[in-house]
Structure 1
């Protein structure tokens, strides 16, 4: 356990540096393949085992019927995809807000004593917006096209930059305020500055898919998997990860099948990247609330 804790982020930093190198050395087609493999494997996996997680959190509840749970999960995910199709602007805005909050929560929940406070929640949201809009602003040309394809709305790059500036200012301010009562947060200042510099370097040299996948898999999905395994089995190690994977596999497979269905249904009206981000949003929506409960339990 100590080895995993001590070296965990060292490995993530190492792979992030390799991602920066890969963005320069690998052709775009290879980058897309690796990025999609990462998203479809660890990225989807970390959010597809929600039913098993919530079952274990609710120790007093009866064990649900597997197939009922499976179809309920698919129904929620596909319903959110439908919202993306019929009310895309609303769904995209909801995705940005919910995902940003979840990114910030995953990154800082161990550093704050009261994660349920208003200021903690606001900090999670603002920091998540900072990371997300770093990706968007540094890849504005691609992002503008994707947003236009998803919603029909043509956004200006200045809008992305303004949100980035406001979220950066807000993150700094809230970090200072919360550090006064959270010594663990205060002591994390230097590494988090280094992380942000690393993110900027990665996103600046990457296309939007490579940059997003690198952050989503390395800095969000893997730490989330670690937290889930720790909560469910007490210790994060390879044996417990395999136990987790065996439980998660049916839901992960269902998610992949759901993604294929979405691509097939909307292949003539939306491009693949738009569908991919819509599906990630659909999985993120229920996942955020379940992880909120997991963090509160811990």
Structure 2
């Protein structure tokens, strides 16, 4: 597992090169990459939340954990129904924080921690969303009109990018300069990559895979085993439930929704399982740094 993160990032870069060289404007290629990454890494990385150590609450019954987890999902679903704009804003904010946090997994102490996490995550998330503005607009228009952001999108991207690099460099830790260089490279790559492919490779190889690596080391230590088979076995039950549930809902919705609305529904479903996952992972990651 030591080199799996670097291998994953090389695969992501290779997929982008394939797209730019042979599959540009090919939406099928983008969706294939997105689906494979989501099914193999994206959803599974949140499927073992119930096993992760949570600070002082290391032991909790599965029933109580699921009650809290499903309760958060239910409340968020209600929020999406009655307050879609607010729910979208909340999803973007907590996702930005969560994404930014993942980039600092190997750092012991972080200066200006909350703002650093949020700014760095916002940098990548808004590059993905705003650099392919028309695709993002088409998906979100049923909830909110974001056309007002188009004239200022490049300015927002540049400001967040420069602030992200600055906040990373002032950490003055081993790996700060390397991370700053990676931010520069990844930001440029995502800027020229379309929405679906960009989100897929970032979510899979720069977020889910590093998170899964951290989970692997925590669980194999906790379970007194370093066998990859055991880890995969732990991933399967809730990964399968999530994948089957989302697939069934999307399949049934195709009769009533157009393509952009189905895509939006998919991201709403992802947000429902992401909301409790983000809280669980925050407790896990911060506990690991203590």
Normalising by structure 1, we get a TM-score of 0.82
**Map 1:281-292 → 2, pairs under 5 A:** 281-292=271-282
Residue 35 (structure 1) shift: 1.1
**Cα deviation digits, residues 37-63 of structure 1 (max 9, x gap):** 2113310111122122258973444x3
Structure 1 runs (4+) greater than 6 angstroms displaced? none
Q: Does 1:228 align with 2:221?
A: no
Residue 34 (structure 1) shift: 2.5
Question: Separation in 1 of the partners of 2:54 and 2:18?
Answer: 40
Q: What is the alpha-carbon root mean square deviation over aligned residues?
A: 2.8
Q: Does 1:136 align with 2:129?
A: yes
Q: Relative to 1, partners in 2 of residues 1:13 and 1:263: Cα closer, same or farther, differing over 3 Å?
A: closer
**Map 1:205-224 → 2, pairs under 5 A:** 206-224=193-211
**Map 1:1-298 → 2, pairs under 5 A:** 4-5=1-2, 7-24=3-20, 25-26=22-23, 27-53=26-52, 58-61=57-60, 63-65=61-63, 73-74=69-70, 76-77=72-73, 79-113=75-109, 115=110, 119-149=112-142, 151-155=143-147, 156-179=149-172, 183-184=173-174, 187-204=175-192, 206-234=193-221, 240-263=227-250, 266-267=253-254, 268-269=256-257, 271-298=261-288
Is the Cα contact below 8 Å between 1:49 and 1:248 reproduced in 2? yes
Structure 2's unaligned 5+ residue stretches are: none
Q: Secondary structure at the match of 1:109?
A: coil
Question: Separation in 2 of the partners of 1:282 and 1:12?
Answer: 26
Is the Cα contact below 8 Å between 1:127 and 1:171 reproduced in 2? yes
Q: Relative to 1, partners in 2 of residues 1:60 and 1:280: Cα closer, same or farther, differing over 3 Å?
A: closer
Residue 283 (structure 1) shift: 1.8
Count of residues in Structure 1 that have an aligned counterpart in Structure 2: 279
Is the Cα contact below 8 Å between 2:50 and 2:62 reproduced in 1? no
Structure 1's unaligned 5+ residue stretches are: none
Question: Separation in 2 of the partners of 1:145 and 1:173?
Answer: 33
